[in-house]
Amino acid sequence: MGSFSTWHGSIVLPLLLLLPNLLLPNLLFIPAARKAGFSAWWVVLSLVPLMGIVLLWLFAFAKWPAQPNR
């Protein structure tokens, strides 16, 4: 009781290393999405597996609301 085994470290350490790699790119994408006229909630949806690829595809080829018509 109360001991920290190597099994705990094999689970906790990868999670601590993985979280910044998942969150930092998404935090950097929020200003880009807002500048393009999209909601920042798109970034939250991108955390769902496979949904990120779909949203990136939609974001890349959608008509940007903040861009004037040419």
Tell me: the pLDDT tens digits for 28-67? 888 888 877 788 888 888 878 888 888 888 878 877 766 5
* H helices present in the chain, as ranges: 6-35, 41-45, 51-61
- Spatial distance between the Cα atoms of 70 and 51, rounded to a whole number of angstroms: 30
Distance CA 10, CA 8 (A): 5
Q: How many domains does the chain have?
A: 1
Q: Are 55 and 45 in contact (CB under 8 A)?
A: yes
Q: Is residue 67 part of a domain?
A: no
Q: Which domain holds residue 22?
A: 6-61
Examine residue 48 and state whether it is found in any structural domain, yes or no: yes
Token pair for 32: 């880009």
Global model pTM greater than 0.85? no
Question: What's the pLDDT score for residue 3?
Answer: 67
Residue 1 belongs to a domain: no
**70 assigned to some structural domain:** no
- Tell whether 68 is covered by a domain: no
In a domain, 35, yes or no: yes
